[in-house]
A and B are shown apart, each in its own frame.
Chain A
Amino acid sequence: MKHFAKAWFLILAAVLLGSPFFAERAGAMDFSRILEPPSLSHFLGTDSLGRDLFARLVCGAGVSVGVSFLAVFISIFLGTLLGAVAGYFGKGIDKLVMGLTDLALCFPVFFLILAVIAVLGPGFWKIAVIIGLTGWMGTARLVRAEVLSLREREFVLAARALGAGAPRIIFRHLVPNAARPIVVNAVLGISSAILTEAALSFLGIGVRPPAPSWGNILNDARATLGVAWWLALFPGAAIFLTVLSANVLGEDIGKP
């Protein structure tokens, strides 16, 4: 299972590198060949505008994976910073930051994202940032808990005795020692970010057309479900495999 997950991510990496070469093909419409099933010339079939599904999935990977990596980067950065600060300083700051975290957790995040995008309009960067800004709470709690136990350890006391300031202790000593749970959280975060992006695109408010993403290809498939199974199956499978692989890898890294 672990090897399979790694292999899938290698494939994804290759797809991401290769996606610029497919951009033109992904946009090429052929109205004489709409909704064709998989064949030799279009080996995953074509969509309702006669575009090659394989090329669109490859380009869509760039969007779906790109958005989720960026979102996870933002949420991990924020979560780690806030969690570490709260755990290290404790007292009032801890109460304040954790209060903020609890508050943010109370929000129905998906509807918040929907509302924000409804007002600002969709787009690659906006979606990445908004998913990132609403996903840091889990990491913050986790990092805080780690830092709470780490800060009483001898190496931290030693650093403090040597006169190191708070930023140095936090970023040179505490965060690196909490790296493993952070990485696990990041990998698991990727899978949920991919699902969120897919859900947003599925609702038709993801990236702007004609840019493909796995979610909006799946959304378009809804209208053609009774006729074109391939339009629903392949993007669904891509999302499924990526999320599964991220979870498997995350658990594997988490093992001591």
Chain B
Amino acid sequence: MRVRNRAFFLFLFLFSAPVFASADERRGDAFVTSSIAEPSNLIPFLASDSASAEVSRLLFNGLVKYDKNLKLTGDLASDWDIEEGGLVIVFHLRKNVRWQDGEPFTARDVAFTFRALTNPSVPTPYGGDFEKVVSLETPDPHTVRVRYKEPFSPGLASWSVGIVPEHLLKDADWPATGFSRNPVGTGPYKLVQWTSGEKLVLRANPDYFEGAPFIARVVYRILPEPTTAFLELETENIDSAALSPLQFKRQTGTPFFKTHYAKYAFPSFSYTYIGYNLRNPLFADKKVRKAIGLAIHKQEIIDTVLLGYGRAATGPFLADGWAADPAIGPSGFDPSRAKALLAEAGWRDTSGDGILDRGGRRFSFTILTNWGNTDRKMACEIIQKRLRDVGIEMNIQTLEWSVLLREFIGKKRFEAVLLGWQLSPEPDPYDIFHSSKTGPGQFNFVSYKNEEADRLMEEARRIFPEAERAKIYHRLHGILSEDEPYTFLYVPESLVALHRRFKGVEPAPAGIGHNFIEWYVLKNERKYR
């Protein structure tokens, strides 16, 4: 009995030690991580690159944010009301929030940010989210009333955009380069040093409204080459890095790596797809698109390109999100059915060269993807081989990103593309699939048009309750899966290595970064002063 008791106490001691550590004892150390690119701009609504978003997320807050389960929750707003049948959103702002220079945060800052977002001379990619706002009023310093032209449920999530201080930016000349390199936000960290091409250093904000973060400093080292980042990881010069599937599977098995790093894998917020130019007679027939989908062995791509770290995509929604219909599975691999569908559509090999033809035209097309992305190139090569098996010749062309977007996709000069979309927890796919978004430079570049889908997307924007929106999106998911304007290929996993000295890490649907301000390092394990 005694022995067991002692063991019990020892057990209790060992596993609860972190809980006993007081807040002050947890404070300290630095988190050194790698960024694949240099942030372009730290003003939250001017930057569209992920490197900038990752840093500015620690410097600024929006009115709302996503919690670890990807539900919207308050950030600078403590809560909100939806009034007048969804026409008005009223945000109740937190009190006692201060900018990092000591000035109080008020509704005036929100109004200022809104004016900047809708100012035509401010080059922001997020302006579209606010087009439906008719007016924004600030009846008192802690209330913001936003009135919409019509009920617009995705509008709520758009208020996760970082709010900027009016008192520092009111006379700014956009794009306000001085502030973007020396930003002042309300966030848990403050930028203290930015050495171009090398690193950014952030220091904990002791007055953060949710409590000062435990990790005293965050350092982003710019390491564009994944191989270099991995070497830095192996020498413990960085604490965290995104890994390639090959690194994750084959290079992390050493005893050193296992004792020093924990590995995390979770579905990324993205999917990779083939998009067809539906204005091209080749792809106008649904049977042809479905045949291509059936001729592609998705699991083989996932196993080879991602080494199994991914899953088949079924639609344009987050794989485990509420908008996706879990009943819809991937299209499956069935080359004989693909051939039958192609024959039904009139494609036969009359010339005997192994490639199908119809009315004297061979079934040959070129797929475009961005150069430098090895995964996508490999996926193209595997697909090329599978399509050849059913009698379709697919050529591959890799193009520089900006040229691909501007010259080919923007002008609709393409037959098919293999690309990916990043997703946010707000599922509204209006910009990508609604028939009103097919203009030059708009995102429905495949020119998809389906009246029922249009109607569903419009309807889903008008209602707020998640359960009701989910029903509509489930229907839409089914239509997209049936029409196949895209062949949805795969959802890669995010693969991350993190140094084991960081405690308090809590994997969740949102990944591991959601509670970063609660991570800490025990005193005896600290590496940096």
Q: Which residues of A contact B (CB under 8 A)?
A: 27, 29, 31, 34-35, 48-50, 118-119, 121-122, 203-205, 208-210, 220, 222-227
CB distance from B310 to the nearest CB of A (A): 15
B227 touches A225 (CB 8 A): yes
Q: Which residues of B contact A (CB under 8 A)?
A: 226-227, 230, 244, 246-247, 250-251, 300, 303-304, 371-372, 374, 377-378, 380-382, 384-385, 395-400, 403, 407
Sort A-B residue pairs by CB-CB distance and give the 4 closest, nearest first: A204-B371, A118-B400, A210-B381, A223-B374
A224 to B230, alpha carbons, bound, how many Å? 12
CB distance from A27 to the nearest CB of B (A): 8
Q: Which residues of B contact A225 (CB under 8 A)?
A: 227
B384 touches A210 (CB 8 A): yes
Q: Which residues of A contact B382 (CB under 8 A)?
A: 29, 49
A209 touches B385 (CB 8 A): no
Most buried by B among A203, A205, A226: A226
A121 touches B304 (CB 8 A): no
The secondary-structure label for the interface of chain B is helix
B396 touches A208 (CB 8 A): yes
- Out of A27, A118, A226, A227, which one reaches B399, CB within 8 Å? A118
B226 touches A223 (CB 8 A): yes
Q: Write 21 A-B pairs (CB below 8 A) sorted by A numbering.
A: A29-B381, A31-B300, A31-B304, A48-B246, A48-B304, A48-B378, A49-B304, A119-B403, A122-B397, A204-B398, A205-B371, A208-B397, A209-B398, A210-B381, A220-B374, A223-B227, A223-B244, A223-B374, A225-B227, A226-B246, A226-B250
- Out of B251, B303, B371, B403, which one reaches A31, CB within 8 Å? B303
A209 touches B381 (CB 8 A): yes
Q: Which residues of A contact B372 (CB under 8 A)?
A: 203-204
CB distance from B248 to the nearest CB of A (A): 11
When C-beta atoms are compared, the residue in chain B nearest to A28 turns out to be: B385
CB distance from B430 to the nearest CB of A (A): 32
CB distance from A121 to the nearest CB of B (A): 6
Q: Which residues of A contact B398 (CB under 8 A)?
A: 122, 204-205, 208-209
B374 touches A118 (CB 8 A): no
A29 to B384, alpha carbons, bound, how many Å? 11
- Out of B227, B384, B400, which one reaches A205, CB within 8 Å? B400
> Given the known A-B contacts A49-B378, A204-B371, A210-B384, are A226 and B396 also in contact in the complex, defined by CB atoms under 8 Å?
no
> Given the known A-B contacts A205-B398, A208-B396, are A224 and B377 also in contact in the complex, defined by CB atoms under 8 Å?
no
A49 to B374, alpha carbons, bound, how many Å? 11
Q: Can you name 11 extra interface pairs (CB under 8 A) apart from A49-B304, A225-B227, A227-B246? A: A29-B381, A29-B385, A31-B303, A34-B304, A48-B378, A118-B403, A119-B403, A204-B371, A210-B384, A220-B374, A223-B227
A118 to B370, alpha carbons, bound, how many Å? 11
Q: Which residues of A contact B303 (CB under 8 A)?
A: 31
A121 touches B247 (CB 8 A): no
Q: Which residues of B contact A48 (CB under 8 A)?
A: 246, 304, 378
Q: Which residues of A contact B304 (CB under 8 A)?
A: 31, 34, 48-50
Q: Which residues of B contact A205 (CB under 8 A)?
A: 371, 398, 400
